[in-house]
């Protein structure tokens, strides 16, 4: 008996559709966050099967937002434009101040 014999034959060929792609509003939200807060850093998150490339912008106090950028190149362009450091989240992880802020403000990022 095969474990996967009931799976549809065409399932492997069907690409996964992202929930949505980055928009100008996403990029504008990142720029507004940078302009209205100090000490902002960007953490790049790679594209997954469910979500386009995203950036987490984290301010000096730990407040953060996550927005789609479409490509790592677009994230880099915004970071250069605003002189914001850009890190790869998979390599560096996220700063502790982000977790502290999230615990103090559960209403902002409840799922």
Q: Which residue has the higher pLDDT, 82 or 51?
A: 82
Is residue 1 included in any domain, yes or no?
no
> What domain range includes position 95?
24-108
* Mean pLDDT of the region 50-66: 94
Query: What count of Cα atoms within 13 Å lies in the side-chain half-sphere of residue 87?
Result: 14
Q: What's the domain count of the chain? A: 1
Strand spans (E) along 19-85: 41-45, 53-58, 64-70
Query: Could you say which DSSP state residue 10 is in?
Result: G
Q: What is the pTM of this model?
A: 0.79
CA–CA separation, 44 and 39 (whole Å): 16
In this prediction, residues 54-75 reach a mean pLDDT of 95
* Per-chain mean pLDDT for the chain: 85
pLDDT at 17 (0 to 100): 54
């Amino acid at each position: 008996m095969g474990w996967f014999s009931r799976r549809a034959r065409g399932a492997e060929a069907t690409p996964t559709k992202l929930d949505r792609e980055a928009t100008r509003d996403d990029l504008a939200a990142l720029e507004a966050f940078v302009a209205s807060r100090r000490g902002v850093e960007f953490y790049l998150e790679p594209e997954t099967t469910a979500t386009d490339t995203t950036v987490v912008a984290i301010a000096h106090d730990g407040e953060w937002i996550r927005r789609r950028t479409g490509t790592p190149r677009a994230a880099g362009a915004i970071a250069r434009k605003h002189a914001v450091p850009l890190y790869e989240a998979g390599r560096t992880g996220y700063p502790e101040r982000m977790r502290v802020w999230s615990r103090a403000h559960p209403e902002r990022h409840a799922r």
